[in-house]
Amino acid sequence: MTRPTRVARVVLGVSGGIAAYKACELLRQLTESGHDVQVVATPAALRFVGAATWAALSGHPVGTDLWDDVHEVPHVRIGQDADLVVVAPATADLLARAAHGLADDLLTATLLTARCPVVLAPAMHTEMWEHPATRANVATLRSRGVHVIEPAVGRLTGADSGAGRLPEPEQIAALCRQVLGGAARGRDLGGRRVVVSAGGTREPLDPVRFLGNRSSGRQGYALAATALARGAEVTLVAANVALPDPPGAEVVRVTTAEEMRRAVLVAAAAADAVVMAAAVADFRPAATSPTKIKKTEADPEPIVLARTPDILAELSAARARPGQVVVGFAAETDDVLAHGAAKLARKGCDLLVVNRVGADAGFESTDNEAVVLGADGSRTDVALGPKEALADVVWDLVVKRLS
């Protein structure tokens, strides 16, 4: 008989910031994902959103006071029983108390007793976020394995704008799901440094036109996010991507294939694994016009193409570190496996993720299916599903080779 999947128990902590109202949407998303969510709010948070709202949305009484239901020892039990604790918003005061191990209210006591993954989503004015004390507290928390999300940049309280805005609830909820998935596997990439490339390069023809492709960067971003959830230190080299940065990743932005080559080689020097998920242009215009090419009555001049650098082959031929694992991607439109096997042999990488792309598959989709070919002759089929699922399969295979 198949056993039912256990519902993940999530504690949603809410501290006293104006962004507390956004946590209502986060709570809705977590419960609709099937998680059992209990809200623990600080007294200051209840000045922004009342306990009745949290109770109605979660289906549970709201934890607010160390002295409520003392016989059940909530200041210990809540943290012990949780599969994930997420605090949104996490104010500068909350970060400071968490970093120093204070437990003078129910939320900080829960953080101190939790042995599950912890996600903190800061929200505060820019000056508070950039203060050396806050930066030191964030560094301390991250050194202990806490996932501290970088705040968004935008409108703050009143007329102020800058860094310190609470990330959108959808982004926080997505990270929570990834962290829970990573926790199920264990932090098997803990202590590892990985590089992921994402997006599609653009090769300029003139100041307004370029040769490019339809890659959205979703698969590369899924690889980065799942690696973070599994404990890795991640450098993400992103080419022309319009997605929110995965919280905790170092993001390097590039445009062309040559810019990507330079950025990836620099980051790969200290990496245990490199995953080239980006769609790197194979060709670039041999000449770039300094001004916009005008439309005339005459036929246009033919565009002469030149090859771009083969980053994957270069990484594979000269490993920056002993035992470094290199993974490539092959987007094909026909004879997918035959072309993939030939590319694997030609590139010299350890793993090659082969998938069919076209108008209805691969690029710009939230789902993917692929076959992962190994240099050792292995083959792993991945059925159509979320790109995060494919990402986890790739990291499973990388972890085996790292160990």
**Catalytic residue, candidates 213, 240, 355, 368:** 213
CATH for the stretch 188-402: 3.40.50.10300
For residue 35, what is the DSSP state?
-
CA distance 353 to 327: 8
Tell me: the pLDDT tens digits for 282-334?
999 999 999 999 888 778 888 999 999 999 999 999 998 999 999 999 988 88
pLDDT the model gives residue 4: 40
Tell me: the pLDDT tens digits for 172-218?
998 898 888 776 666 789 889 999 999 999 999 999 999 999 899 99
Taking the whole predicted model, whether its pTM rises above 0.75 is answered as no
Contact 21, 160 (CB under 8 A): no
Percent of the chain with pLDDT over 70: 93
Name the burial class of residue 266, with classes exposed (0-12), middle (13-18) and buried (19+) by CB atoms within 10 angstroms of its CB: middle
CA distance 359 to 243: 21
> The tokens of 297 are what?
């009555």
Q: To which residue do tokens 């594979």 refer?
A: 316
Q: 213 catalytic, yes or no?
A: yes
pLDDT the model gives residue 3: 37
Nearest in space to 7 (alpha carbons), one of 41, 39, 30: 30
Q: What is the CA radius of gyration of the chain?
A: 24
Name the burial class of residue 256, with classes exposed (0-12), middle (13-18) and buried (19+) by CB atoms within 10 angstroms of its CB: buried
Contact 268, 315 (CB under 8 A): yes
Same fold, 9-180 and 188-402: yes
Structural domain spans, the chain: 9-180, 188-402
Q: Write the DSSP assignment of 242-293 as a string of letters.
A: -SPPPTT-EEEEE-SHHHHHHHHHHHHTT-SEEEE-SB--SEEESS--SSPP
Is the Cα dihedral 359, 364, 365, 367 positive or negative?
positive
Nearest in space to 47 (alpha carbons), one of 24, 18, 27: 18
Q: Write the DSSP assignment of 71-137 as a string of letters.
A: GG-HHHHHHHH-SEEEEEEE-HHHHHHHHTT--SSHHHHHHHH--S-EEEEE---HHHHHSHHHHHH
CA distance 54 to 68: 17
CATH for the stretch 9-180: 3.40.50.1950
- Using DSSP's 3-state secondary structure scheme, residue 59 falls into coil
Segment (H or E) for 373:
strand 367-374
CB atoms under 10 Å from CB of 344, counted, come to: 20
- Using DSSP's 3-state secondary structure scheme, residue 339 falls into helix
Segment (H or E) for 214:
none
Residues of the chain with pLDDT under 50: 1-4
pLDDT the model gives residue 92: 97
Residues across the chain: 403
In degrees, rounded to 5, the angle at the alpha carbon of residue 188 between the alpha carbons of residues 197 and 170 is: 60
pLDDT the model gives residue 155: 84
